[in-house]
């Protein structure tokens, strides 16, 4: 089975390919000739995931799934949330985003946070969403050099390591994206 995963992010593509296994061949946006940045202007994480999946289905005709992820920090009233990728500006710099968040949290005792991923699947006559959540804390500094995005500052509950310190199999098993992907894969196996 071939499915388009609506991303240009090769790190994310590799992570998700490891989750779906060999029975599903993932195509990136680049693979289908989609070079444009798909507008993500919805007010919610769910809305952005649906925008991307629907855009690919409607424009290119491929069955597609898309994800959107937000980091929600309790003491910042859920920020950066839907703006996680652009928290420090349109350049979408993970380093700038983490630095801004660490500065914002410098005076906060409560560093409770959660990652939320929503996967939207668009297939002819069928649109579904699947949500995964991973609770944790924001560390006081960047630790680890693996992963991407906010991984070096996110400590999942029950672990003494950030996502950036974890091997891919463990991260994939406990992460927000891994949980959402498992729900999506369960759906695909039933339909």
Active site residues: 68
Cα(165)–Cα(147) distance, rounded to whole angstroms?
A: 8
Asked whether the beta carbons of 4 and 29 are under 8 A apart, the reply is yes
Of 186, 174, 138, which is closest to residue 20 (Cα–Cα)? 186
What tokens were used for 136? 């944790």
Alpha helices in 30-82 (DSSP H): 45-60
End-to-end CA distance of the chain: 13
What tokens were used for 155? 């400590």
CB atoms within 10 A of CB 101: 22
């Amino acid at each position: 089975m071939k499915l388009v995963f609506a991303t240009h992010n090769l790190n994310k593509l590799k992570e998700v390919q490891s989750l779906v296994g060999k029975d599903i061949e993932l195509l990136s946006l680049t693979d289908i000739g989609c070079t444009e940045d798909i507008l993500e202007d919805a007010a919610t994480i769910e809305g952005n995931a649906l925008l991307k999946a629907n855009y690919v289905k409607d424009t290119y005709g491929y069955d597609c799934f898309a994800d959107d992820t937000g980091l929600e920090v309790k003491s910042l009233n859920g920020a950066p949330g839907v703006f996680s990728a652009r928290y420090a500006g349109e350049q979408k710099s993970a380093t700038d985003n983490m630095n801004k968040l660490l500065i914002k949290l410098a005076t906060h005792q409560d560093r409770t946070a959660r990652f939320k991923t929503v996967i939207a699947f668009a297939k002819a006559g069928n649109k579904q969403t699947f949500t995964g959540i991973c609770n944790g804390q924001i560390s006081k500094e960047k630790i680890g050099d693996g992963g991407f995005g906010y991984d070096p500052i996110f400590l999942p509950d029950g672990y003494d390591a950030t996502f950036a310190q974890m091997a891919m199999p463990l991260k994939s098993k406990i992460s927000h994206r891994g949980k959402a992907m498992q729900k999506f894969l369960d759906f695909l196996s039933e339909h």
